[in-house]
Amino acid sequence: MIMPRTPPTIALINSNEDTTEMLRICFQQAGFPSVVVAHVPEIKRGETDFGRFLDHHDPRVIVWDIMIPYDENWAFAQRMIGTDRMKGRAVVLTTTNQRALESIVGPTSTQEIIGKPYDIERVVESVRQAVAALEET
């Protein structure tokens, strides 16, 4: 008997509680029941240890929001995303200004950069594609 796969855990890394709550509900309605949240300012201040967060929750896909100032916050995200603990995980970037972030980011291994206001279906579909790509490897 083939057991159905359990949907992977999705991590939302953002600075806005309302946004993370909205996205959490949307992902759960889309069939991803395990959604965990960390806030960028708490990671930056060391209140949330990002490595421990990853070890504890083991998210397969991280939806990371890059806020203003884009260059500073992209550099911070890169440091976090570039750790050994991130191997085997996919990243979907979101931002308030997609064009500005794309000019800073350049070519990236992240799944996609999605601007706000969010097209929720596009965010969910990007996560689905990231999960599918991980399952192929």
- pTM for the complete prediction? 0.86
- pLDDT tens for 25-56 read 999 999 999 999 999 999 999 999 999 999 99
Going 124 to 120 to 61 to 72, the CA torsion angle's sign is positive
Strands 90-95 and 113-115, by their bridges, are parallel
| Cis geometry, peptide bond prior to residue 107 (ω within 30 degrees of 0) | no
Class of domain 10-136: alpha beta
Q: Is the pLDDT of residue 3 over 50?
A: no
Which band of pLDDT confidence, cut at 50, 70 and 90, is reported for residue 9?
very high
Q: Looking at residue 112, what is its pLDDT?
A: 55
